[in-house]
């Protein structure tokens, strides 16, 4: 073999080796997923505050928080890179919170958690405890500035000289709450009819006074966020104002619905706060159609304290319903009896025949054609009550409104 070919052969081998090394370089650290929680102010004067994060080469993010008084990291959110990189956190007064993040690539490879005990960002909640609860229809912090005020004493209702019902009466009803709340933050939704303004009040079971929580036009939103304290029971009631400013009567049993916040309720559980705040903000002026908005709801309109006639009109209101059942009870210790069962429009009425000196209670429940049925009201007095008090006078005219009269044993229409 000629001598000049050996160097050429060696050069060819070197080029091949170099080419192989260039074709498969070691993995670059810049291709690994990275993330971080954006800095937070040292102090925040709102219980609810926004937290955001950024990342690169990431398909998914996991966000954790730590209450420094407890010292345990908890998963708050798990979101894909296509989902919003901002969420709302609920903190407790006087607590310092730390946040950290880690990213995952498309193959599931995870970034290491940041070193240190304080994560990526920290803040101290300096809001006062006496500013709870709060209401919002928008993501905080700018809209969560309402604080409760002591309710003004309501005027005592006087016996009315005649039974009158206005077709223009404004109505408001709270969607019933169910069960004990495992979370400090939950939604309150109302249904209104012919209302220019509605008002919601709450009462802490550990206190004996009503506080105005929310006063709003229906077009400004009929769903709001309530923040309660662990171990407390909250009662709610509502009323509407018509265009003349005349208010609806408060419920006969003072409250419409109630719920208890569990003793071990946590401020944040797997992103629940962020989900509730975002869904409430996106709901606009109506309750969420996928949940409370599509449920059958009904109530019996308030009655005067006393009626001066043995025959009087009872009205009810329904939403999302095709059938209504109305029951009555004679006296505080009487048993509930079905009075009317019928197909229904949004408004309905019937004339009730009572006995002089008797007090009657009324309640209703609605159902739709899909098998959904409303629960009976939680308070034992139902939706409305009145006492028949007929004076020994000449025969009384019967109102032209009394178009449907049920005497004696009431026929049930199905």
Q: Is CATH 3.30.930.10 correct for 31-130?
A: no
Q: Classify residue 96 as exposed, middle or buried by CB count within 10 Å of its CB (0-12, 13-18, 19+).
A: middle
> Does residue 344 or residue 343 have the better pLDDT?
343
pLDDT at 61 over 90: yes
* 181-183 vs 257-266, strand pairing mode: parallel
- Whether the ω angle into residue 186 lies within 30 degrees of 0, i.e. cis, is no
408: confidence class by pLDDT, cuts 50, 70, 90: very low
Task: Please write the tens of the pLDDT for every residue from 273-301.
Answer: 545 454 444 443 332 222 334 578 888 88
pLDDT digits (tens, 9 = 90+) for 182-232: 777 777 888 888 889 999 999 988 888 898 888 888 888 787 778 888 888
Top-level class of domain 297-406: mainly beta
Report the alpha-carbon distance of residue 269 to residue 64 in Å, rounded: 11
Going from N- to C-terminal start, the domains of the chain cover: 31-130, 132-267, 297-406
Alpha-carbon span 176 to 255, nearest angstrom = 11
Asked, colleague to colleague, whether 31-130 and 132-267 share their fold, the answer is yes
- Token pair, residue 127, equals 């809001």
Predicted local distance difference test score (pLDDT) of residue 405: 46
How far is 320 from 345, CA to CA, in rounded Å?
9
DSSP letters along 28-57, please? PGGGS-EEEEPP--SEESSSEEEEEEEEES
Supply the pLDDT for residue 1: 46
Q: What is the dihedral of CA 303, 307, 309, 315, to 10 degrees?
A: 0
Q: Which residues pair with 362 in a beta bridge?
A: 328, 384
The predicted structure's pLDDT at residue 316: 86
Q: What are phi and psi of 51, to 5 degrees?
A: -125, 130
Long-range contacts of 111-115 (CB under 8 A, 24+ apart): 111/32, 111/33, 111/34, 111/35, 111/58, 114/36
Q: Name the band, by pLDDT with cuts 50, 70 and 90, for residue 139.
A: very low
- Architecture of the domain whose range is 132-267: Sandwich (2.60)
pLDDT in tens, 145-156: 233 333 333 333
Q: Please state the φ and ψ torsions of residue 18, each to the nearest 5 degrees.
A: -65, -40
Residue that wins the pLDDT comparison between 370 and 152 = 370
Q: Is the pLDDT of residue 166 over 60?
A: no
Q: What is the pLDDT of residue 172?
A: 87
């Amino acid at each position: 073999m000629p001598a000049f070919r050996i160097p050429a052969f060696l050069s060819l081998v070197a080029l091949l080796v170099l080419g192989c090394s260039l074709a498969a370089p070691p993995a670059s650290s810049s291709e690994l997923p990275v993330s971080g929680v954006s800095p937070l102010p040292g102090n925040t004067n709102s219980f609810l505050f926004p937290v955001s994060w950024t990342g690169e080469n990431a398909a998914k993010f996991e966000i954790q928080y730590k209450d420094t008084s407890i010292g345990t990291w908890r998963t708050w959110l798990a979101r894909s890179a296509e989902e919003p990189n901002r969420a709302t956190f609920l903190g407790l007064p006087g607590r310092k919170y730390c946040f950290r993040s880690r990213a995952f690539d498309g193959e599931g490879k995870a970034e290491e958690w940041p070193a240190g005990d304080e994560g990526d960002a920290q803040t101290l909640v300096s809001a006062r405890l006496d500013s709870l609860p709060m209401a919002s229809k928008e993501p905080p912090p700018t809209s969560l500035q309402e604080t409760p005020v002591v309710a003004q004493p309501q005027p005592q209702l006087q016996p009315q000289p005649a039974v009158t019902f206005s077709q223009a009466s404004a109505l408001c009803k709270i969607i019933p709450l169910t069960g004990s709340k495992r979370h400090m933050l939950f939604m309150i939704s109302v249904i209104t009819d012919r209302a220019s303004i509605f008002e919601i009040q709450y009462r802490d079971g550990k206190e004996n006074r009503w506080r105005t929580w929310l006063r709003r036009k229906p077009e400004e939103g009929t769903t709001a966020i309530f923040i309660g304290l662990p171990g407390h029971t909250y009662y709610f009631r509502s009323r509407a104002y018509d265009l003349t400013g005349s208010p609806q009567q408060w419920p006969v049993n003072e409250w419409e619905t109630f719920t208890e916040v569990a003793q071990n309720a946590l401020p944040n559980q797997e992103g629940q706060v962020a989900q509730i705040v975002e869904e409430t903000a996106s709901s606009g002026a109506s309750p969420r159609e996928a949940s409370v908005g599509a449920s059958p709801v009904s109530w019996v309109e308030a009655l005067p304290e006393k009626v001066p006639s043995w025959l009087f009109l009872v009205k009810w209101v329904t939403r999302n319903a095709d059938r209504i059942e109305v029951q009555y009870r004679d006296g505080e210790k009487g048993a509930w009896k079905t009075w009317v069962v019928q197909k229904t429009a949004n408004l309905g009425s019937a004339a009730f025949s009572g006995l002089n000196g008797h007090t009657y209670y009324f309640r209703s429940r609605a159902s739709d054609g899909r098998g959904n049925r409303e629960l009976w009201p939680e308070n034992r007095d139902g939706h409305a009550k009145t006492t028949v008090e007929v004076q020994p006078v000449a025969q009384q005219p019967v109102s032209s409104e009394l178009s449907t009269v049920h005497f004696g044993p009431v026929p049930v229409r199905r």
